[in-house]
């Protein structure tokens, strides 16, 4: 069983920064990619960012492009999300995800991942 554990969430004022971390533990597997999603109250879970380890390609939602940066260490199955210039609309529970398989659906879909963390709350006050 693979467990993903997120950390780094909290309450921050608009315009400020936070960094989220996610580490895999348990029966670790060599992942194909890892990503971040978020879910605000009353809304569906949405894609935020992803990193494909081969070539270290990164992908971002339009809403966070230029403000968020995903990075990580494949050997340690660890991924980070640096969030700058935070806005109140970034308030959500942020989830880490990992996949060992390159699903056709792609990395922007929740069905493109095999493993999920429990989530960490990020609240941005205005």
Q: What is the pLDDT of residues 48-63, one digit of tens each?
A: 999 998 888 999 999 9
- Residue 104, C-beta contacts closer than 8 angstroms, at least 6 positions apart: none
Average pLDDT value for the chain: 93
Q: What is the pLDDT of residues 8-64, one digit of tens each?
A: 999 999 999 999 999 988 766 667 899 999 999 999 999 999 999 888 899 999 999
On the question of pLDDT at 2 being above 70, the answer is yes
Q: What is the pLDDT of residues 114-126, one digit of tens each?
A: 999 999 999 999 9
Percent of the chain residues past pLDDT 70, beyond the cut: 97
- Four-point Cα dihedral 12, 51, 56, 16, nearest 10: -10
Query: How many alpha carbons lie under 13 Å from residue 5 in its C-beta half-sphere?
Result: 8
**Strands annotated E in the chain:** 2-7, 10-13, 18-26, 33-39, 46-52, 57-60, 68-73, 78-83, 92-99, 115-116, 120-125
Query: Under 8 Å CB-to-CB from 55, ≥6 apart: which residues?
Result: none
In this predicted structure, what is the pLDDT of residue 27? 67
Q: How large is the average pLDDT for residues 77-92?
A: 96
Report whether pLDDT(81) > 70: yes
Output 101 or 59, whichever has higher pLDDT.
59
């Amino acid at each position: 069983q693979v467990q993903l554990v997120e950390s780094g969430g909290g309450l921050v004022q608009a315009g400020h920064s936070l960094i989220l971390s996610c580490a895999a533990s348990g029966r670790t597997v060599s992942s194909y990619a890892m990503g971040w999603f978020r879910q605000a109250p009353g809304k569906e879970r949405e894609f935020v960012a992803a990193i494909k380890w081969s070539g270290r390609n990164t992908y971002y939602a339009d809403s966070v492009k230029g403000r968020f940066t995903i990075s990580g260490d494949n050997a340690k199955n660890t991924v980070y999300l640096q969030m700058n210039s935070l806005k109140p609309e970034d308030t959500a529970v942020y989830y880490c995800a990992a996949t060992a398989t390159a699903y056709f659906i792609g990395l922007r879909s929740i069905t493109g991942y095999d493993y999920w963390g429990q989530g960490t709350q990020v609240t941005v006050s205005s």
